[in-house]
Structure 1
Amino acid sequence: ILTLDRDERKMSLGIKQLSQDPWTDITSKYPVGSKHTGIVRNFTNFGIFVELEEGIDGLVYISDLSWTKKIKHPSEFVNVGDKLDVVVLELDVEGRKLSLGHKQTTENPWDKHEAAYGVGTVHSGTIAEIVDKGATVDFGDDVVAFIPARHLEKEDGKKLKKGESAEFKVIEFNKEFKRVVASHTAIFREEEEKNVKAVESASSNNAPASTLGDNNDILAELKAKMEKGEK
């Protein structure tokens, strides 16, 4: 019996009060960072509700389902009734809210990608798609790199097309946004810069006048080629 009104001859009753409130010892049972297995109970457009026990539900935002997959709706990832491993990310006792994450139960692969696909590393790949302002290349390991249009240029002045394979140099890596930007043009442009430095070094030595003239011609030709490519 919760309330009793003798004048109105009314009373209100409760069933849940017969058992202990599961939120009473929530901080000891589900501390932040702890891992648990729950059951998927419901979907929303922004995540899923997972029941850890009767009376204790937590929300897994769609961004916390996978490290690598781009999920538009939770139904693409799990079904209602499925068991799901989760980690407690946040706990609001007063608001009776639990924030859970599924991807946090596994290691972030982008921690390893940072070393394997860091700036300056070179990889072989095939142009997968031509997109707005550039193209994409699948390097494997769920790493898809973006190639800006001007970095698709080949040594002959033409641009790489869909299906063409080549080497690419990573020029930007962002683990937080899972973004890799690479360049094919940088591969041969770097070689041209080395050739220019080699010719300049040779020209600075006490070389015969005829050799010096030849070197200057080569240097001028290389610089003109590089300037044309940059434009």
Structure 2
Amino acid sequence: TNKNVDPKKVVQLGDEVEVMVLEIDEDRRRISLGMKQCKPNPWEDFAMSHKKGDRVKGQIKSITDFGVFIGLPGGIDGLVHLSDLSWSEPGEEAVRRYKKGDEVEAMVLAIDTERERISLGVKQLSGDPFSNYASTHEKGSVVTGTVKSVDAKGAVIALGGDAEGYLRASEISSDRVEDARNHLKEGDQVTAMIINIDRKNRTINLSIKAKDAAEAAEAMQRMQQEATTGTTNLGALLKAKLDKS
């Protein structure tokens, strides 16, 4: 509910109203009254009928520097903080897709009746792409993705399902790479190894260099095994021939 309502918009001179005595100040000969206290508390009503994780719909009442206010039943507003608008976009960019009057769906994240605050989230309506990807891939996995953006320091790789990984310029090749743009461009398909998953900072680090080194080591191991097998077979043939003679 609006905390700064113009009384002229609520009551007119001569109206009969029901009020509750809030305070009696005998020294100042003043009695404080309240109208809203005579009606059910809309915040408590909302808390009674909704819980964390519930989905709600409402119209956008206002958009501020820190989030989007959505109108809810009972004349109260819920706030979607900028950080809760999108998993993949910064809040400052995601908020540009919204305007006053739009009807949106959101998830209830928290209800604080004492402070009269309801926290909502839009991105929580869908699964966290980072957590989903990290739960099915581990360090050392070889993955394929598409270059989403690239600058001199490295490239952002789209891994599918809105998950992203980062490929530093130094991890592109065993040779020294001064500028990643000389090796990659947007749209290129990249196969690399996951060298780190940082759940706290929500980053997935990739390396083509590590993938190539692992493949080279595996190929060397196969060659050594084949050479050992070949030597063993030759020795067995010679022994069999000597045994016959």
Fold in common (TM above 0.5) = yes
For the residue of structure 2 that corresponds to 1:72, the secondary structure is helix
Q: Which residue of 2 aligns with 1:150?
A: 170
Q: Which residue of 1 aligns with 2:183?
A: 161
Kept in 1, the 8 Å contact 2:62–2:69? The answer is yes
When residues 60 and 114 of structure 1 are mapped into structure 2, their CA distance, relative to the original with a 3 A threshold, is same
Q: CA deviation at 1:74?
A: 5.6
Query: Does 1:45 pair with 2:69?
Result: no
Q: Which runs of 5+ in 1 are unaligned?
A: 5-9, 209-231
For the residue of structure 1 that corresponds to 2:133, the secondary structure is helix
Q: Which residue of 2 aligns with 1:188?
A: 212
1:137 and 1:46 mapped to 2: Cα distance?
A: 29
Give CA deviations for 1:80-108 in whole Å, capped at 9, x if unaligned: 11122222222222111111112222233
When residues 73 and 110 of structure 1 are mapped into structure 2, their CA distance, relative to the original with a 3 A threshold, is closer
2:191 and 2:44 mapped to 1: Cα distance?
A: 59
Q: Which runs of 5+ in 2 are unaligned?
A: 1-18, 25-29, 233-245
Kept in 2, the 8 Å contact 1:122–1:168? The answer is yes
* Aligned with 1:95 (options 115, 128, 135): 115
When residues 134 and 105 of structure 1 are mapped into structure 2, their CA distance, relative to the original with a 3 A threshold, is closer
Q: Which residue of 2 aligns with 1:65?
A: 85
TM-score scaled to structure 2, two decimals?
Answer: 0.66
What do you get for the CA RMSD once the two structures are aligned?
A: 3.5
How many residues align structurally?
Answer: 204
Q: CA deviation at 1:42?
A: 0.9
When residues 15 and 64 of structure 1 are mapped into structure 2, their CA distance, relative to the original with a 3 A threshold, is same
2:168 and 2:33 mapped to 1: Cα distance?
A: 68
Question: Of the two, which has the highest radius of gyration?
Answer: 2
Query: Does 1:30 pair with 2:30?
Result: no
When residues 23 and 165 of structure 1 are mapped into structure 2, their CA distance, relative to the original with a 3 A threshold, is closer
When residues 122 and 114 of structure 1 are mapped into structure 2, their CA distance, relative to the original with a 3 A threshold, is same
Q: Which residue of 2 aligns with 1:171?
A: 195
Paired residue type of 1:93: T
Runs of 4 or more consecutive aligned structure 1 residues displaced over 6 Å after TM superposition: 10-14, 199-205
Kept in 1, the 8 Å contact 2:170–2:176? The answer is no
Q: Which residue of 2 aligns with 1:216?
A: none
TM-score scaled to structure 1, two decimals?
Answer: 0.69
* Aligned with 1:85 (options 100, 105, 109): 105
2:148 and 2:131 mapped to 1: Cα distance?
A: 25
Paired residue type of 1:192: A
Amino-acid identity (%): 26
Q: CA deviation at 1:152?
A: 0.7
Paired residue type of 1:180: I
